């Protein structure tokens, strides 16, 4: 399998954060996110260690990029259905990937 074929196996989509809660049972400070991916995928959950750079209010209605086909992981008793994508800033804290302009929830990254 080529590197490009391997990349194509990961289904990344844009979703809109619709609900945010603290995740007090997580080992590292984290939020529980509910993310709407539109009619094809619906609302999925994600546990995200993004507290240093984002408040709950910052996240509401924000578009984010997520891998939606990696399976469900149990994160301290919370079903994390998608992986919210980001990269580290100069302090090692996560900065979320997001589209530069408004796109419909469920839009595929390619």
pLDDT computed for residue 108 by the predictor: 96
The model's pTM = 0.94
pLDDT above 90: residue 7: no
Mean pLDDT, the chain, integer: 96
CATH class of 10-96: mainly beta
Give per-residue pLDDT as tens, 87-108: 999 999 999 999 999 999 999 9
**What is the reported pLDDT for 46?**
98
| Whether residue 6 has pLDDT greater than 90 | no
Residue 8, Cβ neighbours under 10 Å: how many? Answer: 11
- Number of residues written out for the chain: 110
Distance CA 82, CA 70 (A): 7
Domain boundaries along the sequence of the chain: 10-96
């Amino acid at each position: 399998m080529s590197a490009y074929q391997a990349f194509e196996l990961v289904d990344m989509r844009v979703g809109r954060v619709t609900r945010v809660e603290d995740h007090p049972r997580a080992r590292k400070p984290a939020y529980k996110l509910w993310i709407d991916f539109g009619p094809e995928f619906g609302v999925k959950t994600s546990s995200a260690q993004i507290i240093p750079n984002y408040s709950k209010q910052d996240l509401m209605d924000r578009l984010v990029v997520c891998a939606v086909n990696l399976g469900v992981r149990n994160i301290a008793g919370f079903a994390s259905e998608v992986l919210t994508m980001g990269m580290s800033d100069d302090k090692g804290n996560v900065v979320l990937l997001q589209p530069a302009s408004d796109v419909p929830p469920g839009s595929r990254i390619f």
